[in-house]
Amino acid sequence: MADHTILEKLEGLVARFEEVSTLITDPNVISDQKRYVKLTKEYKELGDIMKAREEYIKCINGLEEAKQMMNENDPEMKEIAREEAAICEARIPELEEEIKLLLVPSDPQDDKNAIVEIRGGTGGDEAALFAGDLYRMYIKYCEAKGWKVALSSCSEGAAGGFKEIIFTVSGEKVYGTLKYESGVHRVQRVPATETQGRVHTSAATVAVLPEADEFDVEINEGEIKWDTFRSGGAGGQNVNKVESGVRLRYVWKNPNTGESEEILIECTETRDQPKNKERALTRLRSFIYDKEHQKYIDDIANKRKTMVSTGDRSAKIRTYNYPQGRITDHRINYTIYNLSAFMDGEIQGCLDQLIIAENAERMKESEL
């Protein structure tokens, strides 16, 4: 049987969908970039709901027609009607679940690109090596997804890997996928430097921030202090001759706390100073956007018991146990034994489980 509550809710959205369809063609709206971007996002979301509504109504009507056909005297028609009814009866509850999830407000940040920061934590050289392993894992995953990765800055470890590495990932729903990776990643293995064969525990932290658009935050660019310097690392003679590296300092007042803090950002990604400046500005916007939205993130985290994708970034989220070839995600008690494939970027299975858990929470919070 059809859920009439769902039909009523969907009916109420038809008029809004038509209104938004008209608004996004209005020249006044198009000229207001902030409003236009917001409305086009709403149009896409409502469009997905309208498609599901159309299929839902089609299934309900199909079931009614099939039931009427079962009263026919023709045995062949009765059999066709029975098959049609079985298909509709199976599909209707599936559609109801899909629609319920579509009706739950999504995280407005999910469609954004992401800035990923990986830092070696406790464990010295081994932590830096593990940070390098995590970076490789994410690069492989992003390549498989067809996402573009741009390195912002890095600080190499003495024995390899990275003390810190920061990069930007661009593509479809990047933040909505990678946000589950924020937190402390713990590794248990025998380090290359260990002569006794003992298993050591070390850690690296991952922070995934939504990349802010220009109109997401207000920055007084006149108050930014810029410095330039010669980039270090590989690159031949150019490295020593050209001051392509940029450093910005900006004093920002937190609207949530009223406190001021100085933000320092370096970018050595390219040999082109203007490009490095633009990328440093993007990171500044994203840092401020993340801080300003922290209250929103905290509010969500406080509502949720398991805090699948939000909450304390200092929380231990996953353990990589090399002797056992095991990965355990502590947020959802999910354990798998394919560590080598996982470290080669095959992390989608774990992310899917986290998304399912997140969606279950969102459904619980919603009215339906």
DSSP 319: E
Residue 308 is assigned to a structural domain of this protein: no
Kindly state whether residue 13 falls inside one of the protein's structural domains: yes
| Mean pLDDT on 301-324 | 69
User: What is the total count of domains within the chain?
Assistant: 3
Same domain, 55 and 194: no
- Inter-residue contact 167 to 148 (CB < 8 Å): no
pLDDT at 155 over 50: yes
Q: Are 24 and 39 in contact (CB under 8 A)?
A: yes
**Is 194 part of a structural domain of the chain?**
yes
Residue 256 in tokens: 């949530």
**Do 333 and 268 reside in the same domain of the chain?**
no
pTM confidence score: 0.69
In 3D space, the residue among 138, 145, 117 whose CA is nearest the CA of residue 343 turns out to be 138
pLDDT of residue 306: 45
Q: What is the pLDDT of residues 97-144, one digit of tens each?
A: 888 878 877 777 888 899 999 999 877 889 999 999 999 999 999 999
CATH of the domain at 267: 3.30.160.20
Q: CB neighbours of 67 closer than 8 A, spacing ≥ 6?
A: 81, 85
pLDDT at 363: 72
CA distance 167 to 152: 5
The reply to whether 118 and 207 lie within a common domain is yes
What CATH number is attached to the domain comprising 347?
3.30.70.1660
Are 320 and 327 a contacting pair, CB within 8 Å?
yes
**Nearest-angstrom CA–CA distance, 132 and 213:** 29
Q: Which residue range(s) make up the domain with 256?
A: 221-292
Mean per-residue pLDDT, 253-259: 80
